[in-house]
Amino acid sequence: MVLILVSTSPVERDYDLDALEQLAGKNLREIAARKQTGTASEEDMQRFTTEVLPLYWYQFKPEYLSGIFGKTVLNLEIGPYMQARLKQEYDLRSQVATITTSTLVLLGRHDWVTPFEEGEEMARQIPNAQSHVFEQSGHWVFQDQTEEFIAEIRTFLVSALNSQK
């Protein structure tokens, strides 16, 4: 058995608004802040989708959005509900050191959604964990650096299978 964690953290956090502001400016920072508190207007959500969401990638391509939203049914009430609930209930920091399976933690250097520093800290706390930082990636490393993403997973799985023999 193996565990692969991608662009994640052991605790639910708000967006890294400082990092977002550096990328996109104060106005988009404020929109993201309203989105995460559930106070975003319909206009805010439109701007988030068109101006902030592309920043989930290091080098955005329009087909990424159509690929995601073409296959997704959106319910704008679910996000704020889950964010509020997760902030109260999701905290695995005390449990990550108990993970005993071989673990691979994959992180984007420019991820303002789940900062790679938190992922690196999590990887250090998990026994037998390896981490890899994608230098030219944001939150969705699998699209930013697809070939490297696949290669890292393939190398990890081959190594894990060989160690089980």
Dump pLDDT digits (tens) for 111-137: 988 877 888 999 999 998 999 999 999
**Average pLDDT value over all residues in the chain:** 86
> Does 117 lie in the same domain as 64?
no
Of 68, 89, 110, the residue at which a domain comes to its end is 89
User: Whole-model pTM?
Assistant: 0.81
Residue with tokens 């990887």: 123
From residue 5, how far is each of 24, 67, 116 by CA, in Å? 27, 22, 12
> Does 124 lie in the same domain as 76?
no
How far is residue 103's CA from residue 105's CA, in Å, rounded to a whole number?
Answer: 7
Residue 156 pLDDT exceeds 80: yes
Of 89, 124, 145, the residue at which a domain comes to its end is 89
- Structurally, the chain folds into a number of domains equal to 2
> Does 72 lie in the same domain as 84?
yes
Give the model confidence (pLDDT) of 8-26 as tens digits. 988 877 778 888 888 889 9
> Does 115 lie in the same domain as 74?
no
Predicted pLDDT at 135: 95
Range 23-51 average pLDDT:
87
For residue 80, the enclosing domain spans 17-89
